[in-house]
Every structure is written in C-alpha cells, then in structure tokens.
Amino acid sequence: MPSTTILDARGLKCPMPIVKTAQQIKVVSRGDLLEVLATDPGSVADFAAWSRSTGNELVGQSVEDGVYHFVLRRK
C-alpha cells in the first residue's frame, strides 16, 4: 500500500502549484503518492502536462467545492 503525502497548493497561482509539486515530489519515495490540492483552474491542464513531461503518473483527479485534487505517483 503506497503512502500518500498531501501538498496544499490552494490559493497559489501559475506556476507555483507545479513549482511546489516539483520540490515536494523529490522527498516522496518512488512509487508513493503525492496528492496536491489546488484552486487555480489552470492547474487542470498544467498537472496533465507536468505529468507527461516528468513521467510521474497522474493516477487520479477530482474537484470538490472548487478545490482540485491531483494524485501523482512518483516514478
């Protein structure tokens, strides 16, 4: 069962959610999950692109009360 780290990027605007994600994913173990909370609507496209660029898989995403949840698996 992979462990999940939460990164709160709510309120941050482009490019800070992915900047924080890039810094945080380095301290997540390979195969473990990082769940990012964000409120920037641009992050929907950006997290998909970031996942393709870096190879860290976007295993799930959802939106709840205006908060986006992106679940990434560290490659």
Partner 1 sequence: MTAIAERPAVAETPVPTEFAQVFEPSAEATKQLVIINWSGELDKIWPTLIMSSAAAASGYKTSVFITFWGLLPFVKNQRRIVGENWMQKMLTLMQRPGIDHLKLSKMNFLGMGPWMIGTLSKKYNVAKPAELLEACQALGVEFIPCQMTMEMFGLKREDMIDGLGEPAGAATVIELMTQPNTASLFI
The site for partner 1 (CB under 8 A) is made up of 11-16, 18-19, 21-23, 46, 49-50, 53-55
Closer residue to partner 1 in complex, CB, 33/47? 47
14 in catalytic set: yes
CA distance 20 to 25: 9
- Cβ 45 to partner 1, closest distance in Å? 12
Dig out the tokens for 28 from the structure.
């997540």
For residue 60, the cross-strand partners are 71
Given 4, 11, 14, 31, the catalytic residue: 14
CA distance 28 to 44: 22
**Catalytic site residues?**
14
